[in-house]
A and B are shown apart, each in its own frame.
Chain A
Amino acid sequence: MATLIDSGHRSIDIDHLAQSDKVHRSVYTSPEIFELEMERIWEKTWVFVGHESQVREPGQYYATRIGRQPVLLTRHTDGEIYVLFNRCAHKGAQLVGDCSGKVKELRCCYHGWRFNLDGSLLSIPLEGGYDGTDFGKDDPQANMQRAPRFDSYRGFVFASLAEDGPDLKTWLGGVASSIDNMVDRAPEGDLEITGGVFRYEHDCNWKFFIENLNDLMHPMVTHQSSSLTARAVAKKALGADTPAPAAIEILAPFTESYSFFDNMGLHAFDYGHGYSGGKTSIHANYSDVPEYNEAMESAYGKERVDEIFAVNRHNTVFYPSATIKGAIQTMRIVRPIAADKTIIESWTFRLKGAPDELLRRSILYCNLINSSANLVGPDDQEAYRRQQIGLESQGSDWVAMHRDAGRDEDLGDGHIYAKGSSDLAFRNQYRAWKAYMMNGGQSDD
């Protein structure tokens, strides 16, 4: 295991850059480290590709990327899901030029090679031309190539570009239960991605975003202007006794007290995963929708429904590529573009069997919080952007993650707990980051 990585003109000492309680500024600013991350993290570990509801029917495809590489999520006529590299086996052109669609077959726009949606070759024009050569329709390389590994956990499809490594369920470990809780919140036990997507350009390194998700010391500062203003405007417009509309219920908790966020708590697991909240979160006090509770009770019975609703998590991070909010049914996906450029996609889910009001609340949440033009996301983006520029300075080489270091609680089975104001989430992510960067994504030890 090499600590020093020779990247041409200078060597990168991973062990020095990511220490147990601080991290070197260059992990956010260096294009060389970004390239290494693509190779050793993004193109090795399990990365979220899409949700099964995006390719419900045979012939449907959804085009996305794993790290730098274009891939297709498809549903073949055998009913199975595949993750294929989005390149023609012939001269490399992408097989589809748009983001999603439904086709009978994939036909290359350049020389007309045709493929099934499982990647297998259908035909090559004038295929006799390959007779007696090293290539041709019987060569496995004439098929569209599949991602080495892909798997689905309750509808969430992940893929890995490494042949070996832990299976998806093992890798998800303690955060699989966050997917469980989101799916269990659907009376029919199934989710559907719906209602469009935001693609929000961030002028910053991808890690600022993924770290911020469980940074519970920031909402009351960064979002003060939105949350306190929302409280004040609603009080003035509606009076103190009128119940706040959903938009205000969503914005107000961002300025809860430090002790509220401390009580939410932080949970960390292997591979950099984790979540905040648990028994309670900023989503715990939304108004009840009686028809929804009835649909849930008739589907699961009162006792089980109480169990499902007793779990109320804020952000769950599937490091490095995705984060969900099960309690409000939204998901964000991280697309690293360059050391200082990241695109964040936001998606919304319908809980199947739930009244429309639930989806409408998720949409409202997504608008207010995740839109590039709304009341919360732009202030987060501003903070990340200022970090990105601030860390160019030589004021210090280090970014601190010391808060409550040494005071984590080990709950066994790789489950670590700390109060909400702890820097646990950052330390845990960099423990995984370091293991990926040093071992090439093979393991967390």
Chain B
Amino acid sequence: MIEATDIEGLLFHHRVSQFLFSEARMLDDREWDKWAALFTEEGTYWAPASYEQPDPIEHVSLIYEDQLLRKVRLARFSNPNAFSLQPFPRTCHFISNIMIDSHEGAAVTVSSCFQMTEYRRDKPNQFNGRYVHDLVDMDGSFKINQKKAILVNCDGTQPSSSIYF
């Protein structure tokens, strides 16, 4: 963990935090195109299915998506025949405990705790856990190389969910 010890460090921490907040806000506001554009071309979204899962290749994941699969999921969001998205879920992403784990050159790794409430009908579902964002600092803005959402119960029994944690 890198602690901010001067104004520059505090400002950087602030920039990183604002980025995480605005990324989460795009999900809540259903700004899918803007959200997808935050990823680099090789950027992946990964929700592991076990807590210290070493890789997404030889172990199942709740979600492991490259750009192509992300496009499929996002295109499905506006498809009238995506039955598990009727009615379309409302979400509130809450992010806290933001810490910069490493910062070398343009590469920044940030971890945070999240709580996501998803409401579609009947009662809301709660998804909680830790985010690990691998970011690239490019010309004053960040891009996501990988967003990892590790649910605290990722290897436990899960309800249906068709959106991003």
Question: CA A372 – CA B61 in complex, angstroms?
Answer: 10
The answer to whether A360 has its CB under 8 Å from any CB of chain B is: yes
Shortest Cβ gap from B33 to chain A (Å): 14
The chain A residue sitting closest to B71, CB to CB, is: A233
Residues of A within 8 A of B64 (CB): 367
Q: Are B60 and A366 in contact (CB under 8 A)?
A: yes
Q: Contact mask A170-196 → B, CB, 8 Å, 1/0? A: 000000000000000000000000111
Q: Are B155 and A372 in contact (CB under 8 A)?
A: no
The answer to whether B58 has its CB under 8 Å from any CB of chain A is: yes
Q: Are B76 and A375 in contact (CB under 8 A)?
A: yes
Question: CA A233 – CA B50 in complex, angstroms?
Answer: 30
Residues of B within 8 A of A224 (CB): 81
The answer to whether B53 has its CB under 8 Å from any CB of chain A is: yes
The answer to whether B73 has its CB under 8 Å from any CB of chain A is: yes
The answer to whether A398 has its CB under 8 Å from any CB of chain B is: no
Q: Are A375 and B60 in contact (CB under 8 A)?
A: no
Which residues of chain A in 243-275 are interfacial with respect to chain B, using CB atoms and an 8 Å cutoff? Answer: 245, 247-248, 251
Q: Which of B5-13, B14-22, B98-106, B157-165 contacts A (4 or more CB under 8 A)?
A: B157-165
Q: Are B159 and A196 in contact (CB under 8 A)?
A: no
The answer to whether A322 has its CB under 8 Å from any CB of chain B is: no
The answer to whether B82 has its CB under 8 Å from any CB of chain A is: yes
Question: CA A290 – CA B75 in complex, angstroms?
Answer: 34
Q: Are B159 and A372 in contact (CB under 8 A)?
A: yes
The chain A residue sitting closest to B62, CB to CB, is: A373
Shortest Cβ gap from A436 to chain B (Å): 27
Question: CA A279 – CA B146 in complex, angstroms?
Answer: 41
Choice from B57, B63, B156 contacting A199 with Cβ under 8 Å: B156
The answer to whether A96 has its CB under 8 Å from any CB of chain B is: no
Residues of A within 8 A of B158 (CB): 198-201, 372-373
Residues of A within 8 A of B59 (CB): 195-196, 363
Residues of B within 8 A of A251 (CB): 72
Given A225-B81, A363-B58, A198 contacting B160 (CB threshold 8 A)? no
Question: CA A219 – CA B155 in complex, angstroms?
Answer: 28
Q: How many residues of A contact B (CB 8 A)?
A: 45
Question: CA A426 – CA B88 in complex, angstroms?
Answer: 32
Which residues of chain B in 80-126 are interfacial with respect to chain A, using CB atoms and an 8 Å cutoff? Answer: 81-84, 86
Residues of B within 8 A of A229 (CB): 72, 75-76, 79
Q: Are A196 and B155 in contact (CB under 8 A)?
A: yes
Residues of B within 8 A of A383 (CB): 83
Given A245-B68, A343-B157, A379 contacting B84 (CB threshold 8 A)? yes
The answer to whether B144 has its CB under 8 Å from any CB of chain A is: no
Q: Contact mask A193-220 → B, CB, 8 Å, 1/0? A: 0111111110000000000000000000
Choice from A245, A343, A359, A381 contacting B58 with Cβ under 8 Å: A359
The answer to whether B150 has its CB under 8 Å from any CB of chain A is: no
The answer to whether B47 has its CB under 8 Å from any CB of chain A is: yes
Q: Are A237 and B71 in contact (CB under 8 A)?
A: yes
The answer to whether B136 has its CB under 8 Å from any CB of chain A is: no
The answer to whether B24 has its CB under 8 Å from any CB of chain A is: no
Residues of B within 8 A of A237 (CB): 68, 71
Q: Contact mask B41-63 → A, CB, 8 Å, 1/0? A: 00000010110010001111111
The answer to whether B69 has its CB under 8 Å from any CB of chain A is: yes
Residues of B within 8 A of A247 (CB): 68-69
Choice from B58, B62, B68 contacting A372 with Cβ under 8 Å: B62
Given A195-B58, A225-B82, A363-B59, A375 contacting B73 (CB threshold 8 A)? yes
Choice from B62, B73, B83, B156 contacting A379 with Cβ under 8 Å: B83
15 A–B contacts, CB within 8 A, in A order: A199-B155, A201-B157, A201-B160, A222-B83, A225-B81, A229-B79, A237-B71, A368-B69, A371-B49, A372-B62, A372-B161, A375-B76, A379-B83, A381-B160, A383-B83
In the complex, the 10 A-B pairs of residues with the closest C-beta atoms, listed nearest first:
A378-B84, A225-B82, A372-B158, A225-B79, A373-B62, A225-B81, A382-B84, A199-B157, A378-B160, A382-B83
Given A371-B60, A373-B161, A377-B160, 20 other A-B residues pairs in contact with their CB atoms under 8 A: A194-B58, A195-B60, A197-B60, A200-B157, A201-B158, A201-B160, A226-B82, A229-B72, A230-B72, A234-B68, A247-B68, A356-B58, A363-B58, A371-B62, A373-B62, A373-B158, A373-B160, A375-B72, A379-B83, A383-B83
B residues lining the A interface (CB < 8 Å): 47, 49-50, 53, 57-64, 68-69, 71-73, 75-76, 79, 81-84, 86, 155-162, 165
